[in-house]
Structure 1
Amino acid sequence: MTPHDQRSGHGRVPDAPDPLPIPVVDNHTHLDIARDGEDLPDVAAAIAAATAVGVDRIVQIGCDLPGARFTAEQVDLHPQMLGGVAIHPNEAPRLAAQGSLDAAYAEIEALASHPRIRVIGETGLDYFRTGPEGLASQQDSFRWHIDLAKRTGKALQIHDRDSHDDVLRILAEEGAPDRTVMHCFSGDLEMARECVERGYYLSFAGTVTFKNAAGLRDALAVTPLERVLVETDAPYLTPVPWRGATNAPYLVPLTVRVMAGVLGVAVPTLCEAISANSEAVYGPW
């Protein structure tokens, strides 16, 4: 989950892109979140719109307790949806200060037992929104979620904002789960190489299409096809040419086509890789 990008176009409804030739997975979306002044998305309608353009599976992420409960309910209603649950890095210090973090952990662990909850995440570190006083709580929470992913055999999805070195350090110290995903990858070329060497998957969002994201495209360019995923992080990070409008899973094809150009592969080739990688990480839908 990423703060609002309201640079332009908030309130516009983007047109549907041309469908992809082979269906792919939106690796990370938030259908439980609405941008300011907007209604919550209609989940069934969002899934139908995505399916119509070749995004036939999604991973819904609930990263606070209400969102995690919503996710556990929705995965039973929609066969196109798998889920992830966690306490977001920015939530952990707040809950710790209230004395309710242990209770939140217990509920997340209970929700994670659902067979269609396949992800522990998003967890990780966020040094943009949390000051120095909250960093210990964030890091402890990250370590707890890593352990939960390993104990439950679930994939781990990582939120990393302005915290690259500590994210990689803690993963090395704790030992990353076999299936670890860097959600909305934001590192540079060298970090991408490090993550690939460690066997992590890199998931790219609409940010890779932004004009000022040359460094992110360089990172994508050195990521092997077998480690690439795609996501929206909806309702935020809408790809060009709709940057600033509200994002949704049906806009994934815009990002996929830019990624194919960066990687120098045909769009169907990338779609096949994304689909196969997604099922390798999360299992069959």
Structure 2
Amino acid sequence: MTDADSAHHTADSAHHTADSASMKAESAKAAKKRRRREPPPDPEPLPGLVDAHTHLAACGGRDADSVRAILDHAERVGVGQVVTVADDMIDARWALDAAHCDDRAFAAVALHPTHAGELDDAARAELEQMAADPRVVAIGETGLDYYWPGKSESAAAPEVQKDAFAWHIDLAKRIGKPLMIHNREADHDLLDILAAEGSPDAVVMHCFSGDLTVARECIDRGYFLSFAGTVTFANAAELREAAHLVPDGQILVETDAPFLTPHPYRGQPNQSYCLPYSARLLADVRRTDEHAMAQTLGDNARRVYRLSLQ
């Protein structure tokens, strides 16, 4: 082989190697994309659990058959009841419908803080009517979200959110139902408003994400801290410390499905059947038996939402 032939052969080999590497990289990328569309496998059953916060409509549960299928799946792994939550008025109607079409579903209704600008007289009247329904067990999710204003043109400004939050606090107190809180990057203002307005008898900090200082303040006020799949994430060490800190009587677990799928399935579709993954992590963090942990978590949800009375 001449020097020229050798150089040509070397170049061809290098080109082939580059093509193979490119194909492998594309395959890995395609595989990752495919996995993100696949639901996680069923966990081992862990009886006694209640999903303290999910979004059935966003999971595809928009009629009786699809709601039943989601709840049947959840029940097979030990999740006996769920609280499905509203973000806007359309969601609120779906949540209430779901709660009436399956005894295992209960509803929370409110306008999410990013939708606070939609709280006009008609919305107030409809929410008040919905809130009085026996299948509605909480007012939520409401609160403050300082992440989205400035990033999304449709997100309500902080001052609008504060006014809507105060109205929802008053509604929860008037009807005697728990307040379900959404808090994103607004710790100080949110706790100040709750203190100024006067908290309802029961407050649930949905998808708790605060630091230990916020956790201690919420615990001292008697609030429930509800942990989602985020507590399983690798970068959530402080959140796990907060989960260790919460008294037995103030801890809940939720999916916030279809979002926040627990590790190692982060990014894949979430549903209520995935709840045992987070519950088992909480048992590990709190150094307790997983079945005892599930019973504690379920009992707390049934107590705060008064599910046994429905």
TM-score, L = length of structure 2 = 0.84
For 2:36 and 2:170, locate their aligned partners in 1 and report how far apart those are by CA, in whole Å: 39
Say which SS state the counterpart of residue 116 (structure 2) adopts: helix
Say which SS state the counterpart of residue 90 (structure 1) adopts: helix
Aligned residues: 269
- The Cα of 1:273 is off from its aligned counterpart by 1.0
Q: Does 1:87 align with 2:120?
A: no
Q: Which residues in structure 2 correspond to 1:206-221 (within 5 Å)?
A: 206-221=229-244
Aligned to 1:200: 223
Residues 205 and 226, structure 2, Cα contact 8 Å, conserved in 1: yes
For 2:217 and 2:173, locate their aligned partners in 1 and report how far apart those are by CA, in whole Å: 21
Say which SS state the counterpart of residue 43 (structure 2) adopts: coil
Q: Deviations over 1:89-145 (max 9, x none)?
A: 00013x2xxxx6222121111111111101100000000012497111100000000
Residues 92 and 101, structure 1, Cα contact 8 Å, conserved in 2: no
Q: Deviations over 1:218-272 (max 9, x none)?
A: 1111111110000000000000111000100000000000011111111122112
Of 47, 71, 79 in structure 2, the residue corresponding to residue 55 of structure 1 is: 79
Q: Does 1:17 align with 2:36?
A: no
Aligned to 2:149: 130
Gaps of 5+ in 1: 1-6
Q: Does 1:121 align with 2:136?
A: no
- The Cα of 1:77 is off from its aligned counterpart by 1.1
Q: Does 1:272 align with 2:291?
A: no
For 1:256 and 1:170, locate their aligned partners in 2 and report how far apart those are by CA, in whole Å: 31
- The Cα of 1:10 is off from its aligned counterpart by 2.4
Residues 26 and 58, structure 1, Cα contact 8 Å, conserved in 2: yes
For 1:241 and 1:46, locate their aligned partners in 2 and report how far apart those are by CA, in whole Å: 21
Of 246, 249, 254 in structure 2, the residue corresponding to residue 226 of structure 1 is: 249
For 1:30 and 1:271, locate their aligned partners in 2 and report how far apart those are by CA, in whole Å: 21
Choose between structure 1 and 2: higher helix proportion: 2
Aligned to 2:23: none
- The Cα of 1:169 is off from its aligned counterpart by 0.6
Say which SS state the counterpart of residue 84 (structure 1) adopts: strand
Cα 1:77–1:133 change in 2 (3 A) is: closer
Aligned to 1:28: 53
Q: Deviations over 1:185-212 (max 9, x none)?
A: 0001111111010000000000000000
Of 126, 145, 159 in structure 2, the residue corresponding to residue 107 of structure 1 is: 126
Gaps of 5+ in 2: 1-31
- Return the index of the structure with the highest Cα Rg: 2
Cα 1:73–1:269 change in 2 (3 A) is: same
- The Cα of 1:161 is off from its aligned counterpart by 0.4
Say which SS state the counterpart of residue 52 (structure 2) adopts: strand
Aligned to 1:70: 94
For 1:136 and 1:103, locate their aligned partners in 2 and report how far apart those are by CA, in whole Å: 20
Identity %: 46
**One-letter code of the match for 2:48?**
P
Say which SS state the counterpart of residue 113 (structure 2) adopts: coil
For 1:160 and 1:249, locate their aligned partners in 2 and report how far apart those are by CA, in whole Å: 22
Aligned to 2:195: 172
Q: Deviations over 1:25-81 (max 9, x none)?
A: 0000001115xxxx5572111100000000001001122111111111111111111
**One-letter code of the match for 1:121?**
G
Residues 83 and 106, structure 2, Cα contact 8 Å, conserved in 1: yes
For 2:268 and 2:213, locate their aligned partners in 1 and report how far apart those are by CA, in whole Å: 31
User: Root-mean-square deviation (CA), in Å?
Assistant: 1.6
Name which of structure 1's ranges 259-268 and 204-213 shifts more when overlaid on structure 2: 259-268
* Higher relative contact order structure (alpha carbons within 8 Å, sequence separation ≥ 6): 1
Residues 123 and 142, structure 1, Cα contact 8 Å, conserved in 2: yes
